[in-house]
Amino acid sequence: MGACPSAHGKDKVPTETVLKSSRAGSVSETAEPATLLRTSGSKINSSSVPTGDALPLTRAIAGRLAGKVAIITGGSKGIGKGIAIMFARQGARVIVNYRSDPAGADDTVRECEAIGGEGCAFKVHGDVGKKEACEALIEAAWSKWGKVHVLVNNAGMEIQGDFLDVTERDYDRVMDVNMKGAFFCTQAFARRCRDAGQRGTVVNISSVHEDLPFPGFTTYCASKGGMKMMTRNLSIELAGIGIRVNNIAPGAIETPINASVLKDPEKLKDLLSKIPLTRLGKPEDISLCAVYLASDESTYVTGTTIVVDGGLTWYYIEHH
Q: Which sequence positions are flagged as catalytic?
A: 220
Q: Give the C-alpha separation, 82 to 240, whole Å.
A: 31
Q: Give the C-alpha separation, 39 to 59, whole Å.
A: 35
Contact at 8 Å (CB) between 259 and 318? no
3-state per-residue secondary structure call for the chain: CCCCCECCECCCCCCEEECCCCCCCCCCCCCCCCCCCCCCCCCCCHHHCCCCCCCCHHHCCCCCCCCCEEEECCCCCHHHHHHHHHHHHCCCEEEEEECCCHHHHHHHHHHHHHHHCCCCEEEEECCCCCHHHHHHHHHHHHHHHCCCCEEEECCCCCCCCCHHHCCHHHHHHHHHHHHHHHHHHHHHHHHHHHHHCCCEEEEEECCHHHCCCCCCCHHHHHHHHHHHHHHHHHHHHCHHHCEEEEEEEECCECCHHHHHHHCCHHHHHHHHCCCCCCCCECHHHHHHHHHHHHCHHHCCCCCCEEEECCCHHHHHHHCC
Contact at 8 Å (CB) between 125 and 101? no
The partner residues of 98 in beta bridges, in order of sequence, read 125
- Return the C-alpha torsion angle 303, 309, 311, 313, nearest 10: -70
CB atoms within 10 A of CB 197: 8
